[in-house]
Amino acid sequence: MADTKFFNEAITVTASIDRDGQTNPKSFSWQGQNYVLISVGRQWEADDGRHVLVEAANGDRFEIQLSREDLVWYLRRAWQEELVV
């Protein structure tokens, strides 16, 4: 089962924005690892910017946010599968 973890860390995102204002992240880098995104889910506007739910190729899911204040992307939440050995 995936644990929900909360963050406030700046990340580097590769994305496009379409004519309707929808953000389409393709990948992001966090803690020295690159995550290729296979799915972009719900998006919403809040006082602090645009929030986007995404899923990485390894099955981890994240909430990322483009800050309205400084136009920097942040990782807000992560749902990552625990590795069982």
Per residue in 21-72, pLDDT tens?
788 999 999 999 999 999 999 999 999 999 999 999 999 999 999 999 999 9
Does 67 fall in a domain?
A: yes
**What pLDDT is stored for residue 20 in this prediction?**
85
**What pLDDT is stored for residue 23 in this prediction?**
85
Residue whose C-alpha is closest to residue 80's, from 54, 52, 48: 54
**What pLDDT is stored for residue 81 in this prediction?**
75
User: 74: pLDDT confidence band, cut at 50, 70 and 90?
Assistant: very high
Does 26 fall in a domain?
A: yes
Does 63 fall in a domain?
A: yes
Residue whose C-alpha is closest to residue 39's, from 21, 57, 22: 57
Does 41 fall in a domain?
A: yes
- The total domain count for the chain is 1
HEC letters along the chain: CEEEEEEEEEEEEEEEECCCCCEEEEEEEECCEEEEEEEEEEEEEECCEEEEEEEECCCCEEEEEEECCCCCEEEEEEEEECCCC
Does 70 fall in a domain?
A: yes
Does 18 fall in a domain?
A: yes
Q: What is the pTM of this model?
A: 0.88
- What range does the domain containing 31 cover? 2-78
Does 85 fall in a domain?
A: no
Does 84 fall in a domain?
A: no
Q: Are 60 and 79 in contact (CB under 8 A)?
A: yes
